[in-house]
Amino acid sequence: MTADTNTDLDTDLDNTPVPPPAAKSARALARARKRRSAARFWREYRTHRSGLWGLAGLVVIALVALCAPLLVGADSQSVTDAPGGALEAPSGEFPLGTDQFGRSVLALLVWGARVSLTVGLLAAFLCVAIGTVVGIVAGHFRGWYSTVLMRVTDWFLVMPTLVLAIALATVMSRSLWTVILAIGVTTWPTTARLVRAQTLAVESRPYIERARALGGGHGHIMQRHVLPNVMPLVLAQTTLVISSAILTEATLAFLGLGDPTITSWGGMLQDAREAGAVSAGDWWYLAPPGLAIALVALAFTLCGRAVEAVLNPKLRVAR
Residues contributing to the site for another protein (CB under 8 A): 50, 154-155, 158-160, 162-163, 166-168, 170-171, 243, 247, 250-251, 254-256, 266, 269, 272-273, 278-281, 283, 286-287, 289-290, 293-295, 297-298, 301-302, 314-315, 317-319
CB of 243 to another protein, least distance (A): 6
**CA–CA separation, 286 and 252 (whole Å):** 17
**Backbone phi and psi for residue 66, each to the nearest 5 degrees, phi listed first:** -70, -35
Q: What separation in angstroms does the CA of 309 have from each of 52, 102, 127, 199, 201? A: 13, 46, 22, 20, 19
CB of 63 to another protein, least distance (A): 20
Q: What separation in angstroms does the CA of 179 have from each of 117, 182, 203, 271, 283? A: 13, 5, 36, 18, 28
- The DSSP secondary structure of 124-192, one letter per residue, reads HHHHHHHHHHHHHHHHH--SHHHHHHHHHHHHHHHS-HHHHHHHHHHHS-SSHHHHHHHHHHHHHHHHH
| Residue (225 or 308) nearer to another protein, CB | 308
CB of 281 to another protein, least distance (A): 5
**CA–CA separation, 102 and 84 (whole Å):** 4
| Residue (131 or 289) nearer to another protein, CB | 289
| Residue (193 or 225) nearer to another protein, CB | 193
- The DSSP secondary structure of 257-282, one letter per residue, reads -S-TTS--HHHHHHHHHHTTHHHHT-
CB of 7 to another protein, least distance (A): 41
| Residue (29 or 315) nearer to another protein, CB | 315
Half-sphere exposure of 10 (CA within 13 A, CB side): 6
**CA–CA separation, 296 and 302 (whole Å):** 10
| Residue (227 or 294) nearer to another protein, CB | 294
CB of 18 to another protein, least distance (A): 48
| Residue (71 or 312) nearer to another protein, CB | 312
| Residue (61 or 302) nearer to another protein, CB | 302
104 in helix, strand or coil? strand
CB of 254 to another protein, least distance (A): 6
CB of 28 to another protein, least distance (A): 40
